[in-house]
Structure 1
Amino acid sequence: MWHPDDYLERLYRRLEEKRKEAASGGLSAAERERLRGRLQDLLGRFEEEEAPLQPKLLESEEWADGITRQRIEYSTAEGLRVPAYLLLPKERTGRRPAVLAWHGHGYGSREAVGLLPDGTPNPGPPGIHRNFAVELARRGLIVLVPEIVGFGDRRIRDEADGEPGSNSCFPIGAALLLAGRTIAGLRAWEARRAADYLLSRDDVDVQRIGCFGFSGGGMVASLSAALDDRMRATVITGYSNTYKTSILARRHCLDNYIPGVLTEAEMPDLLALIAPRELYLEAGTEDHLFPVEQVKEVYSRLTELYQSLGAGESIGLDVFEGKHEICGRRSFDWIASRLKA
C-alpha cells in the first residue's frame, strides 16, 4: 500500500479527463493556435538568443551515386555552432525539394550518412538508421543532417571523449530545466534554424521542405513540424505513440520529458498540430520502446482528423516486421514523391 502507482495513475486520469472536457467542443483553428503557443511555452523560448547563421563549408567530397557529401557548420545562438552533413543529389537543375534528417540516439549525424564514429565509411550493415539520409538523397532530395545537440561532436566537453554512442542529454537537459527551458525545446528551435539555413540556399525550393526523424529524432521532427508550418511533409518513425504507453511506461532519456505537457495535450494532440500537412508514420512490430498497437491507435485518431479537414490522402502508416529501427520500404519513396509533387 506504500507504492505510489495508484496515485500516479489517478493523476494521469484526472489530467486526461480535463483534456477531454476542454476539447469537447472540437479542435477549432483558434484552439489549435492556442495549443501551439502553449507547447512553445512549455518547451521554452529561445528566439531572443538567435544569432546570424554564418554558414561555413568545411569539406566536400563526391560520393556514391553521384551524391556530393559536404560537411558544413552554422550558428543558431551565441555559443551554439552546429556541424551538419549536406547531401546534394546527382540531379541539381533548378531549385530542389529538401529534407531535414534527424538521427536518433547513437553516435550522431555520421550514423545517418553511412559513416563510422571516426568519419570513415562503414563497410558493414547500416544498423538501425539504415543510412536513411543517403537513401533520401538517392531519391533526388537535398538532405541536411544536423548534429543534434548532446550527441556526437555536440556533447559537453567533459564527455566528448567518452564512448562514441554516449550522449550528454542529461547534463544539458538538467541545466536547461533549471533555467526554465528544455532540451526538447532547444532541439525543436535548432530545427527551425536548420530550416532557415536550407531556405537561405539558392538551390532549395522554399515551398518543398520536409523532415524525417527516427526515435529521438522523431521527437525533433514531430515537435518542429507541429510548430513550423514550413515543414510540408513529415515522416516519423520509431516514435509516434502516447506518453502513457511509451515515455511513462519505462525509463527514457531525459530529453523526452516536457514539464507540464500532460496538462495541455497527449502526444497525439501534438501530432495533430501537423494536420492537414503531409504526415507518414512508420513502426516496427517488435519496437519495445514505442509499442505498435498504440501507433495504430494514434494513426486511427489522426486519420479521423485528416478526413474531417478534407485531407485524408495526406496521412499514411507503414507497420513493418522489425524492431526499433528505420525500415524505409515505403517512407523513403513517400516523402520524395510528396515533396516532388
Structure 2
Amino acid sequence: MTHDIGSMLRDRLGLAPPVPVAFERGEVTGLHGYTRQRIEYGGLEGDTIPAFLFTPTAQPARGGVVVFHQHNGEFHFGKSEIAGEVGSPFQALARRGLAVLAPDALTFEDRRGQVHGVEPHDYDWLQHYSAMSYRLLDGDTLMRKGLDDAQRALSVLIDATELD
C-alpha cells in the first residue's frame, strides 16, 4: 500500500488525520486595510486554542497562511506579535493581502496556565518546561502537540475564510 508523504509523517509522529475543526468567532476589530477577529477552537487534549484571524478589507484574500509567532523565550508574546502590537515589528505579517490565522502556541500569551495577555510572568519558563517534561514522561513530545495544533489551525483557516 502506498502512502502520500503527509500520511507517512502523520503515522510516524502519531498524529491524527486532519479533520474539520469547530471554531467560535469573537470580537472583530477594523484596522487599516484589514480586520482582526478573535477565533477559538479546540485542541487534541481538550484545550482551547485562541487565535487572531486577519482578513484584508480592500480586496478578497489572495490566499491564506497560518503563522506561528517566534519563541525567543518570550512566552508572554504570541498571536499579538503577529498582529504587530508587541515584540518584533518584523513579525507583523497581517498587512500583505493574505488571510492570516495566528494562533498562540501552547504556554504562550493566552495559553499560559495562570496568566494571560502580553505581560511577562516569572512562572512562564517553568510552565513551558513542564509542558515538555510531562509529555516526555508519558512517551509523548511537545512537538507532536504543536504539529497537531498546526493541522487544526490550517483546517480553521480554510473554513473560516472559505478559501480553497
Q: TM-score, normalised by structure 2?
A: 0.77
Q: 1:82 to 1:38 in 2, by over 3 A?
A: closer
Matched with 1:249 is: none
Whether 2:63 is the aligned partner of 1:97: answer yes
CA shift digits 1:89-117 (9 cap, x unpaired): 12343x6400111101222111121224x
Q: Which runs of 5 or more structure 1 residues have no equivalent in the other structure? A: 1-29, 117-126, 207-341
**In 2: Cα distance, 1:202 partner to 1:110 partner:** 20
Do the aligned residues in 2 keep the contact of 1:133 with 1:145 (CA within 8 Å)?
Answer: no
Q: Which has the larger radius of gyration?
A: 1
Matched with 1:140 is: 97
Superposition pairs of residues 26-37 of structure 1, within 5 angstroms: 33=5, 37=8
Which structure shows the higher helix fraction?
Answer: 1
- Aligned amino acid, residue 48 of structure 2: R
Superposition pairs of residues 116-131 of structure 1, within 5 angstroms: 116=86, 127-128=87-88, 130-131=90-91
Question: What's the % identity of the aligned pairs?
Answer: 29
Matched with 2:112 is: 155
Q: 1:33 to 1:197 in 2, by over 3 A?
A: closer
Matched with 1:63 is: 31
Matched with 2:21 is: 53
**In 2: Cα distance, 1:62 partner to 1:56 partner:** 18
Superposition pairs of residues 77-226 of structure 1, within 5 angstroms: 77-93=44-60, 96-105=62-71, 106=74, 107-116=77-86, 127-128=87-88, 130-134=90-94, 138-157=95-114, 160=115, 163=120, 166-167=124-125, 168-204=127-163, 206=164
SS, match of residue 110 in structure 2 = helix
SS, match of residue 63 in structure 2 = strand
Do the aligned residues in 1 keep the contact of 2:19 with 2:152 (CA within 8 Å)?
Answer: no
Q: 1:33 to 1:85 in 2, by over 3 A?
A: closer
Matched with 2:41 is: 74
- Aligned amino acid, residue 66 of structure 2: L
Q: TM-score, normalised by structure 1?
A: 0.40
**In 2: Cα distance, 1:90 partner to 1:164 partner:** 36
Q: Which 4+ runs in 1 deviate beyond 6 A?
A: none
Tell me how far 1:77 sits from its aligned partner: 2.5
Tell me how far 1:46 sits from its aligned partner: 4.4
SS, match of residue 87 in structure 1 = strand
Matched with 1:258 is: none
Q: 1:61 to 1:184 in 2, by over 3 A?
A: same
Q: Which runs of 5 or more structure 2 residues have no equivalent in the other structure? A: none
Aligned residue pairs total 154
